[in-house]
Amino acid sequence: MRSGKERILAAGVVLLGVRLRSKLLPVIITKATLEELYRRYNRRRYVHPDPLEFLYRYPDLLDREIAALIAASLAYGRVTQILRSVASVLDRMGQSPRDLLMKSTERRLQAVFSGFKHRFTTDDELVSMMMGMKRVITGYGSLNECFLAGLNLKDETVLPALAGFVSRLGCKAQYLLPSPEAGSACKRLNLFLRWMVRKDAVDPGGWQGVPRSKLIVPVDTHMAKIGQALALTTKKSANLHMALEITNSFRRFAPNDPVKYDFALTRFGIRDDMSIDELLDRKNN
């Protein structure tokens, strides 16, 4: 016979007491609540401010995957600066990032992006990443095909394929494209995969052959706080262990699409008009 705790978990309910405004309150999350949040907030109107918004410029998948990797790699720091930096790069690339990339020498790219700076990312590091993209596209035909070359459908997650993908790109600035082999949560690369693999009202998708069920939740400070508050993780640090634990928690609700709720939940904290306190209050009303 199942214990009371086991019955709660089997019903898809997670219960935790969290300290909110100096008061210990129970927070309950259910699949029905997550689905309601998904229906309400997984909409284009809630995308801004998010570098995801740049991907909607590119109906051609071969342009979109390049724009997505650039946008995701620069998604660190203050969101206003992220948007300015991504816009600066993509505006210089014109209507077709792929055309510019494939028709340009390294010297030309250095000229195009001369003076670029995003926090501690330099123009030289940006060009190194772009040359890595050009190299794998030349060899495999697309970033999608390069990723698939390292994908084993027997693997539980995309992490082994992601490690191979990063290795093939060979960017000299490893912090731009970190490998999960080093223990990184790979938040920005997992965000890139969410954008490119999933397709719904928000995520434009387009990549083929990568199962949504193997994706990992992109864990940043917002998702870490939400994951802890909703008992989706017991970890204290936003590392790979936390990312896997939160992903496994979401698999109880959506086994075929564990990152489904990521966008809706992270609006609370990313947008000025939606706070994490509001999310937690919503669960207690």
Distance CA(131)–CA(18), nearest Å, equals 47
Phi then psi for residue 30, to 5 deg, are -125, 165
For residue 186, what are the contacts with CB-CB under 8 A and spacing of at least 6? 159, 162, 178, 179, 180, 216, 240, 243
Q: Please tell me what DSSP assigns to residue 53.
A: G
Q: Where are the domains of the chain?
A: 1-41+217-285, 51-208
Phi then psi for residue 121, to 5 deg, are -85, 125
Which residue type sits at 122? T
- Residue 28: what pLDDT? 60
For residue 218, say if its preceding peptide bond is cis, omega within 30 degrees of 0: no
Q: Report pTM.
A: 0.88
Please return the burial class of 251, using the count of CB atoms within 10 Å of its CB with bins 0-12, 13-18 and 19+.
Answer: middle
Which residue type sits at 229? A
Is 15's pLDDT higher than 80? no
What mean pLDDT do residues 195-202 have?
A: 98
HSE-up of residue 131 (Cα within 13 Å, Cβ side): 17
Mean confidence (pLDDT) of the chain: 89
CB 195 within 8 Å of CB 68: yes
- Bridge partners, 122 (sequence order): 117
User: Using one digit for the tens of pLDDT, what is the confidence trace for 77-118?
Assistant: 999 999 999 999 999 999 999 999 999 999 999 999 999 999
Phi then psi for residue 25, to 5 deg, are -125, 145
Band (282; pLDDT cuts 50, 70, 90): low
